[in-house]
Amino acid sequence: MGKAHVLAICVPAQGHVIPLMELSVSLAKHGIKITFVNSESAHKLVVNASPAATKDDDDDDIALVSIPDGDHPEILKQVIENINATAGSDKITCVLADPGLSWAMEVAHEMKIRRAILSPFAATLLVLKSSIPKLIQDGIIHEDGTPTEKKTIQLSPTIPAIETSHFSWICYSNSEILKFWLFKYALRCNKSMKLADKILCNSNYNLEPAAFEMNPKILPVGPLLTSNRTGNFLM
């Protein structure tokens, strides 16, 4: 029987790539083979940073691969098939993806490969995103994610109250296009959570116990920080 082999895939943003790479390095230290898939726009930055980062980090078990920017389920499927055709007994056993890449979860599901997501943001945000259907049902937000009115709500009695204008897909920008994209990202996260066998979060139980208690399926694996080791995968 070969090594466990994880294909990790991320969106090309620094706050997303770094936690996933940190987890990948940690998994490699425990004898798990990693294929890290990045978009072409981020791949060169990771490769340029990787020599210093992997000096003491089992870099032989981390392969860096690039695919074109955008959603490319057919390309990802081909990457997995190519790896499995040449990896002998070390075939891909799990796809670990950013929660916004629901299409990657769909590919893994179709190929009958185990699936996990790593949230780079707080567990409370995961809980908020997963509450979107109920927020729509309760008339708190419209179908497009915009609040029906400015008000304060609580996701649970133990989670601090939040104003609807502070929802993550609303407060980051004044751009309506970006707000729309962030809401679509939140919906993709929900789809990924449903397809994933495991939901990992770059957080700690002591930082936000109420969120983890509200959704026990979310497992804390953080903080995943480059400062925890000597090398850095900085972009």
What pLDDT is stored for residue 234 in this prediction? 42
Query: For the stretch 95-104, what's the b/e string if a residue is b when 16 or more beta carbons lie within 10 angstroms of its beta carbon?
Result: bbbbbbbbbb
Contact 56, 29 (CB under 8 A): no
What letter would DSSP give residue 15?
H
Rounded-to-integer distance, Cα 150 and Cα 108, Å: 40
What pLDDT is stored for residue 231 in this prediction? 47
Instruction: Count CA atoms within 13 Å of residue 190 on its CB side.
Output: 14
What pLDDT is stored for residue 225 in this prediction? 82
Contact 105, 196 (CB under 8 A): yes
pLDDT tens-digit series, residues 104-145: 999 999 999 999 999 999 999 999 999 999 999 999 999 999
If residue 118 lies in a helix (H) or strand (E), which one and from where to where? strand 114-119
Place of tokens 């789809």: 191
What pLDDT is stored for residue 71 in this prediction? 80
Structure tokens at 171: 């407060």
Q: Which residues of the chain have pLDDT under 50?
A: 52-58, 230-235
Query: Going from the N-terminus, what domains does the chain have, and what CATH number goes with each?
Result: 5-121+192-228 (3.40.50.2000), 125-180 (no CATH)
What pLDDT is stored for residue 68 in this prediction? 86
What pLDDT is stored for residue 52 in this prediction? 39
pLDDT tens-digit series, residues 1-27: 678 999 999 888 888 988 999 999 999
Tell me the one-letter amino acid at 15: G
Rounded-to-integer distance, Cα 120 and Cα 22, Å: 11
What pLDDT is stored for residue 58 in this prediction? 45
